Amino acid sequence: MPTYQSFETDRLLIEPLTKADAPHLLALMNTPKWIKNIGDRNVHTVADAEAYIEEKITPQFERLGFGNYKVTRKSDGQFLGNCGLYDRPGLEGVDIGFAFLPAFEKKGYAFESAEKLRDEGFGQFGIKTISAITIPSNIASQKLIEKLGLTFVKMVNLPNDDEELMFYQIHKTA
């Protein structure tokens, strides 16, 4: 299996999600906030999470060299959540997204990991435009997206989805 780039910040390790992370992803994807803000992805067992990683996450890493990363705390290896750069059908630019277990929200981990991936996206991966989407009721996500420097552009719908989403973008500056 190829090795993909990992990153670190003062407090965090940001590493590609692998099948070994399926139990953590399962827990994260079934939190009430994930289901409310992102949606039920029908991942209800470790085997479902392994299949999700194999079918949805690994192929993007193989194609682009970046994707969905697990975020762990350097001090103790605790899994906190995930953050990633996603090539989403129907969206302009590469989408940045994040989700953290409830016990690790409001501690700056989402911003710290997303800021690092934004910077690496523009630098190492040569991405020209980073976008983000969120539902209108997710005020915390909107605030974090704006703190990352993205600006609201318009309301959008993803293919095969009737829910209107807020669409933000930031462009790489020279």
pLDDT digits (tens, 9 = 90+) for 89-106: 888 889 999 999 999 999
To the question of pTM greater than 0.85 for the whole model, the response is yes
Cα 117 to its chain centre, rounded Å, is 9
Taking only the tens place, the pLDDT of each residue in 69-85 is 999 999 999 999 999 99
Query: What one-character DSSP code corresponds to residue 6?
Result: -
CATH superfamily of this structure's domain 7-16+69-171: Gcn5-related N-acetyltransferase (GNAT) (3.40.630.30)
> Measured between alpha carbons, how far is 167 from 55 in angstroms, rounded to an integer?
26
Q: Which of 100, 132, 107 is nearest to 34 (CA)?
A: 100
